[in-house]
Amino acid sequence: MTYQQVIRGQIVTPERVIRDGWLAIRDGRIAALGDGPHPDAHDVHDAGQAYIMPGVVDGQTHAGSYGGLPGLEATTRSAVAGGVTTIVDMPYDSPAPLCDLETLDAKVAAVGRFAHCDCALYATLLPGQSVEMIPLLIAGGVAAFKISAFEANPTRFPRIPADMVLDMFNALSGTAVPLGLHNEDQEIVRTTIARMKAEGRDGIASHSPSRPVAAEMASSAHFLELGFNAEAHAHLVHISHARGFDMVAHYKADGGRATGETCVHYLWFDPDEDGPALGARMKVNPPIRPGERERLWAQLLADRIDFVSSDHASWPLSSKETGSIFTAGAGVPGLETLLPAFFTAAAARGLDAPLLAAKYLCERPARFFGLWPRKGSIRIGADADVVVLERKDHKWDSAAAHDGLCWSPYDGAVFTGKVTKVWLRGQLAWDGAEIMNAPGDGQYVRREAAPMPA
């Protein structure tokens, strides 16, 4: 029998690296795995000593916040160039969020037209909308729901009032589907920003104080407690401070379904070190906190972080160059750098970088969103989403990036891992120099019908 494709190298399986390994692809899935001599294939790629990783599942992407649904194209081009073979796209598209079957259908269609990688989808509800939409969206395959405690935009990214949060939790209570929160207390953030503006403090150093840790934590506590009362799954989509994971741990110990995610930028940057050079180019919300980075790594090593994502946002640099941290857009491009940055930072700390990346960037988010075992691991039967990662120093230059944005907070950083080949369901998507697949080669992936946890 002849396989479609064989790839050989150091295969990163969930618990161990197969040194002289190979995997074989048939019908777009991983059909065989082995070491030593490999079977025949129409195409054989020998990656030498490079790692063969599962494709990254980015649990938090904002593809359409800026460019609308067509934004999927550049975003997913950037994804595959960074080893991300599945994005879980946020519902806050421009001009309207994904909140009903029409917008779901439109987005699924856009995936089929624009996407270079596979896409799972977050849904949301708008203020005032009935929670009766929830089971319909679940039937439509959405992976999770997300809402915000902070109004970033009245129609596109509104604040959901507490009564509706509780209604949503009650509607989700009997399901395995999580409700995620953008966790910032609106009243505290707005007032604090107004104060700092009045004081003329509008540089990057004012960003974290203007959205205080307390605002993030109080919003998180309120939300986790509502989810606990409803016996539903409450998820914090970005925790910037170790305290957040302590809180999540309390809820887990009390028997609640609570989880927390951090983003790679919280594990990489520190405003005290990087702020002077980057300014608003490192503005994300919640803010990166001074002095917190190593405490977050400690939480990761204690296995209290559920997974790590990019929170990629496709803002043009112009949106950052506004003269004030408060008018600058929040969010940074991060898909293409997600795996290289996480790998580099883990390796620099003496950790087992390939296994940690496979766990926190691939398997954990895939399980969280109900995509495992189809996505997230190199295992028989899984989609042949495969990444070749070479241990090789390369300085990041966003001019060569694929998101069409031409800027990155990582510019100039030296990464020690480089994505040199990516296959999506067995099809070569990135060859280390060029995007090889076409818009629309990505597919919509549905949350697996998952039984409730016992």
- Tell the smallest beta-carbon distance from residue 389 to a second copy (Å): 19
Is the Cβ of residue 244 or residue 442 nearer to a second copy in the bound state?
Answer: 244
Number of residues located near a second copy, criterion CB under 8 A: 58
Nearest C-alpha neighbor of 440 from the set 136, 147, 113, 142: 113
Tally of CA atoms within 13 A in the half-sphere of 153 that contains its CB: 13
**Conformational region of residue 439, where left means phi above 0, alpha means psi within -120 to 50, and beta covers everything else:** beta
Is the Cβ of residue 161 or residue 412 nearer to a second copy in the bound state?
Answer: 161
- Tell the smallest beta-carbon distance from residue 254 to a second copy (Å): 7
- Tell the smallest beta-carbon distance from residue 166 to a second copy (Å): 5
Contact flag: residue 24 with a second copy (CB under 8 A): yes
Torsion sign across C-alpha atoms 252, 257, 258, 264: positive
- Tell the smallest beta-carbon distance from residue 217 to a second copy (Å): 5
Residues 36-95 binding a second copy (CB under 8 A) are: 36-39
Contact flag: residue 230 with a second copy (CB under 8 A): yes
Selected binder of a second copy within 118, 185, 403, 448 (CB under 8 A): 185
Nearest C-alpha neighbor of 213 from the set 258, 271, 264: 271
Site string for a second copy, 349-388 (x = CB under 8 A): ------------------------x-----xxx-------
- Tell the smallest beta-carbon distance from residue 429 to a second copy (Å): 23
Region of 28-36, 63-71, 389-397, 435-443 interacting with a second copy (CB under 8 A):
28-36
Torsion of CA 70, 402, 293, 320, to 10 degrees: -70
Is the Cβ of residue 13 or residue 319 nearer to a second copy in the bound state?
Answer: 13
Site string for a second copy, 200-229 (x = CB under 8 A): ------------xxxx-xxxxxxxxxx-xx
The CA distance from 145 to 349, in Å, is 34
Contact flag: residue 173 with a second copy (CB under 8 A): no
- Tell the smallest beta-carbon distance from residue 98 to a second copy (Å): 24
Question: Which amino acid does the sequence have at 349?
Answer: R
CA angle 128, 247, 325 (to 5 degrees): 65
Residue keyed to tokens 């054989």: 44
Site string for a second copy, 290-319 (x = CB under 8 A): ------------------------------
Please say whether the beta carbons of 131 and 174 come within 8 A: no
Torsion sign across C-alpha atoms 221, 226, 232, 234: negative
Contact flag: residue 5 with a second copy (CB under 8 A): no
Contact flag: residue 180 with a second copy (CB under 8 A): no
Selected binder of a second copy within 4, 5, 60, 192 (CB under 8 A): 192
Burial class (CB in 10 A: 0-12, 13-18, 19+), 393: exposed
**Torsions phi, psi of 312, nearest 5?**
-55, 130
Region of 8-16, 73-81, 106-114, 395-403 interacting with a second copy (CB under 8 A):
8-16
Is the Cβ of residue 220 or residue 344 nearer to a second copy in the bound state?
Answer: 220
Selected binder of a second copy within 132, 154, 163, 323 (CB under 8 A): 163
Region of 23-31, 107-115, 269-277, 291-299 interacting with a second copy (CB under 8 A):
23-31
- Tell the smallest beta-carbon distance from residue 38 to a second copy (Å): 8
Selected binder of a second copy within 161, 276, 291, 412 (CB under 8 A): 161
Q: Which residues form the interface with a second copy (CB under 8 A)?
A: 1, 11, 13-16, 18-19, 21, 24, 26, 31-39, 161-164, 166, 185-188, 190-192, 212-215, 217-226, 228-230, 243, 246-247, 250, 254, 373, 379-381
